[in-house]
A and B are shown apart, each in its own frame.
Chain A
Amino acid sequence: MEDYVGMAKMNRPSSAIAGGIAGTAILSLLMILLEVQTRSQVHIFDAIARFVGLPNNILIGFVLFVAAGVFAWPLLFIALEPYIPRGPDPAARGIVFAFVLWLAFVIAGRGSIGWPLIIVYAGLTLLAHLAYGFTLGAVYASLREENVADTA
């Protein structure tokens, strides 16, 4: 706790959005790394565009992706939080939450990726999503007013 003495506590939606910003930053960074590291074989930006339903518009797809990561998912997360397993730590719950998001992503964004690249695509996007969920939950937990993790 001492680390955060003097840091203003935020209400739940704002701290969730702060978590969303941190999580989306990490998720985007990992996705870009994945894209570059795999020498553009995965076409992750196309996958993102397909995921948000705009298969031919990468830029708008990416903007929607960021908007969802920063606002939609975090707010959905705090609405669902009491019902997500592996609590009370929000970071552990965030991982479960992100796993469900990843399921949707990996199915909707798969496109024409085939064996054996699908393993890399699925594995690395899973890790990126879990990192998103964990960061979302951890930042949220450290910023919001009541602190469940401390009593965990």
Chain B
Amino acid sequence: MRNGWPPTLAVPDGGYLLGGETETENEKPSGLFRWVTSVDHKDIGIMYIVFATATALWGGTDAMMIRTELLTPGAGPWDPVTYNALFTTHGLTMLLFFVTPAFTGIGNYFLPLLLGADDMAYPRINAIAFWILPPAYLLVRAGLITEIIAKALAVIGFSITSLFALQPPGTGWTMYTPLTTQMVNPQIDLMLLGLHLSGIATLLAAINFIVTIFTERSDDVSWSTLDIFSWTMLTTSGLILFAFPLLGSALIMLLLDRNFGTTFFTVDGGGPLLWQHLFWFFGHPEVYILVLPAFGLVSLILPKFSGRKLFGFKFIVYSTLAIGVLSFGVWAHHMFTTGIDPRIRASFMAVSVAIAIPSAVKTFNWMTTMWEGHIRLTAPMLFCIGGIGTFIIGGVTGVFLAAIPIDLLYHDTYYVVGHFHFIVVGIITFAAFAASYYWYPLLTGRMYDQLLAKVHAWLSIVGTVIAFGLMLINGALGLPRRYATYPEQFASLQQMMTIGAFLIFAGVIIWLYNMIQSYRIGPVVMDADVWNLKSIDQFTREWQWFEERLEERRRKIRGE
């Protein structure tokens, strides 16, 4: 089906073999066996991306169900217990099993190409890090899996009631104690173990990125010529190195509290606030772990379609590093309403407001990059520009929330949900989509359907503004979050939000169709300079690699 792609002969891409290993290991095995045994960074990158897509669709289904529940003010079609489980699994899935693996996958595929490295520093650890993730996700979702088995058996007449013991967890993604300590559902223990496992996977990948960037750069890539995406991945990995071990420890403590009678988070022990401190010391850097690669992708892709070099490259790097450092000093702004000491609150307010400065530096640099540029509104560019716009809304509302008096009013309302979705969907997911279109020809050797891609971009931008803009309004009007029911007067706003969310979902389906169908029968790429980057002197290293590969294939076909 795939005309001329991949080439008939498996091409040894070299590098990950040690001297003395046998010739036969040079060629990848074919079929399924290739994927389960591969230690090639490109294969692993693709597996990460496929995994992230699958989890995103699952987490997206959660989101659509949440929005359906909220179409009517009363509870239904799902009961409040299911509703609690829905926003719990939606949050955990999207943050830890969609965005993190998606960017790890993009980094895995492209970092070695951008650095001129043969592979990641530790190819086998790379494979292990990926293969930990699917079981981790299955643990978090275990209740549904056992239920599928039970239902399937029920259809053919077997009924095993114990398979229904695991209920989807309704703790909220922040897993606040004492609620999480006291819930009896055994699925919560599996969820905690799964999250811990995913943290290990993330940590392994981050260590690999750090060592790769430090030691595997080719001779002509110095720190001063390191590309912007690698800089952000390096900073992100640094954050992971400090944040995730803490999450792991806190999760273990919570597990011990639940199962072995320890009192880390009980009132007579450390108290429920201890969990919040530990969780948010991880949780807030985690937000930047998610957003920094997205910033890097926007910084990388935007200049390509602006016809100009990235404005203020150095300041983008400095602001990335500044965000990396400051991100560890903002966690208590999640706890302004818990009654912690006002002096602590004030200092965390100062740092939280200050982190807006490096973020704004980036935004202004992006706008200046486009200034008087030759703008080409391709799908990746639409996603970058739309992402900058929605990030500004998300960022400015974040400044408001960082101010203690405003936060006291808006805490636990839809305003907060609107704020972080403008960032998590508005720039993080948009940047991932931009990358998926920008590098699609390189990844698949084919071109995608550009019209469908633009439809997808516009549906996403409009849907995001409707769905999450109205959340800001609902929150400002005082509607609390996390409730399955709400007063009648919010019904029409809620319904409009749901329409916005459905628009985003429709866009995602179009994206999925475009990716699969173009992979089958899209036009074959003959010239590596798909985006006319040579004319603006931005034909970067990964595209040069692609050009060499196309040339190599031509030589093979000619029989040289």
Do residues B71 and A39 form an inter-chain contact, with CB atoms below 8 A?
Answer: no
Do residues B77 and A4 form an inter-chain contact, with CB atoms below 8 A?
Answer: no
Whether, in the assembled complex, A8 has its beta carbon less than 8 Å from a beta carbon of chain B, the answer is no
- Supposing A37-B65, A91-B517, A117-B68 touch, asked if A141 and B1 sit within 8 A by C-beta, the answer is yes
Whether, in the assembled complex, B61 has its beta carbon less than 8 Å from a beta carbon of chain A, the answer is yes
Residues of A within 8 A of B516 (CB): 134
Chain A interface: which size bin?
35 or more
- Supposing A4-B1, A37-B65, A116-B72 touch, asked if A91 and B520 sit within 8 A by C-beta, the answer is yes
- Supposing A2-B2, A32-B148 touch, asked if A117 and B77 sit within 8 A by C-beta, the answer is yes
- Of B17-25, B152-160, B464-472, which binds chain A? B152-160
Whether, in the assembled complex, A103 has its beta carbon less than 8 Å from a beta carbon of chain B, the answer is no
Using a CB-CB cutoff of 8 Å, which residues 1-50 of chain A contact chain B? 1-5, 32-33, 35-39, 41, 45
Using a CB-CB cutoff of 8 Å, which residues 66-99 of chain B contact chain A? 68, 71-72, 76-79, 82
Interface string of B1-15 (1 = CB under 8 A from A): 111101110000000
Do residues A92 and B155 form an inter-chain contact, with CB atoms below 8 A?
Answer: no
- Supposing A117-B77, A119-B68 touch, asked if A92 and B517 sit within 8 A by C-beta, the answer is yes
Do residues A59 and B156 form an inter-chain contact, with CB atoms below 8 A?
Answer: yes
CA distance A116 to B78 in the complex (A): 11
Whether, in the assembled complex, B144 has its beta carbon less than 8 Å from a beta carbon of chain A, the answer is yes
CA distance A116 to B155 in the complex (A): 27
B1 CB contact (under 8 Å) in A39, A59, A119, A150:
A150
Closest to B85 in A: A39
Do residues A59 and B155 form an inter-chain contact, with CB atoms below 8 A?
Answer: yes
Closest to A37 in B: B61
Q: What's the nearest-Cβ distance from chain A to residue B166, in Å?
A: 12
Do residues B82 and A39 form an inter-chain contact, with CB atoms below 8 A?
Answer: yes
Whether, in the assembled complex, B536 has its beta carbon less than 8 Å from a beta carbon of chain A, the answer is no
Q: What's the nearest-Cβ distance from chain B to residue A13, in Å?
A: 20
Q: Is the interface of A mostly helix, strand, loop or mixed?
A: helix
Whether, in the assembled complex, A149 has its beta carbon less than 8 Å from a beta carbon of chain B, the answer is yes
Residues of A within 8 A of B157 (CB): 59
Count contacts on B: residues with CB < 8 A to the other chain. Answer: 34
Q: What's the nearest-Cβ distance from chain A to residue B526, in Å?
A: 17
- Supposing A35-B151, A91-B517, A116-B77 touch, asked if A142 and B1 sit within 8 A by C-beta, the answer is yes
Residues of B within 8 A of A91 (CB): 517, 520
Q: What's the nearest-Cβ distance from chain B to residue A64, in Å?
A: 13
Whether, in the assembled complex, A106 has its beta carbon less than 8 Å from a beta carbon of chain B, the answer is no
Whether, in the assembled complex, B521 has its beta carbon less than 8 Å from a beta carbon of chain A, the answer is yes
B520 CB contact (under 8 Å) in A2, A38, A138:
A138
Do residues B521 and A39 form an inter-chain contact, with CB atoms below 8 A?
Answer: no
Q: Name the residue among A2, A32, A89, A124 with the largest chain B CB count within 10 angstroms.
A: A2
Do residues B520 and A36 form an inter-chain contact, with CB atoms below 8 A?
Answer: no
CA distance A127 to B148 in the complex (A): 19
Whether, in the assembled complex, A62 has its beta carbon less than 8 Å from a beta carbon of chain B, the answer is yes
Whether, in the assembled complex, B64 has its beta carbon less than 8 Å from a beta carbon of chain A, the answer is yes
Closest to B2 in A: A3
Residues of A within 8 A of B77 (CB): 38, 41, 116-117, 120
CA distance A37 to B64 in the complex (A): 11
- Supposing A1-B3, A2-B6, A39-B82 touch, asked if A58 and B155 sit within 8 A by C-beta, the answer is yes
CA distance A123 to B79 in the complex (A): 20
Whether, in the assembled complex, B509 has its beta carbon less than 8 Å from a beta carbon of chain A, the answer is yes
CA distance A65 to B187 in the complex (A): 33
If A2-B4, A120-B64 are given as contacts, then 6 extra A-B residue pairs at C-beta distance below 8 Å, sorted by A number, are: A5-B8, A36-B147, A39-B78, A116-B71, A120-B77, A138-B520
Interchain residue pairs A-B with the least CB separation, the first 9: A117-B77, A116-B71, A2-B8, A36-B147, A39-B82, A142-B1, A41-B77, A36-B148, A120-B68
Point out residues on A near B: beta carbons under 8 Å: 1-5, 32-33, 35-39, 41, 45, 58-59, 62, 89, 91-92, 116-117, 119-120, 123-124, 127, 134, 138, 141-142, 147, 149-150, 152
A-B contact pairs, 29 of them (CB 8 A): A1-B3, A1-B4, A2-B4, A2-B6, A2-B7, A5-B8, A32-B148, A32-B152, A35-B151, A36-B144, A36-B148, A36-B151, A37-B144, A38-B65, A38-B77, A39-B79, A39-B82, A89-B520, A116-B68, A116-B77, A117-B77, A119-B68, A123-B502, A124-B61, A127-B509, A141-B1, A149-B521, A150-B3, A152-B521
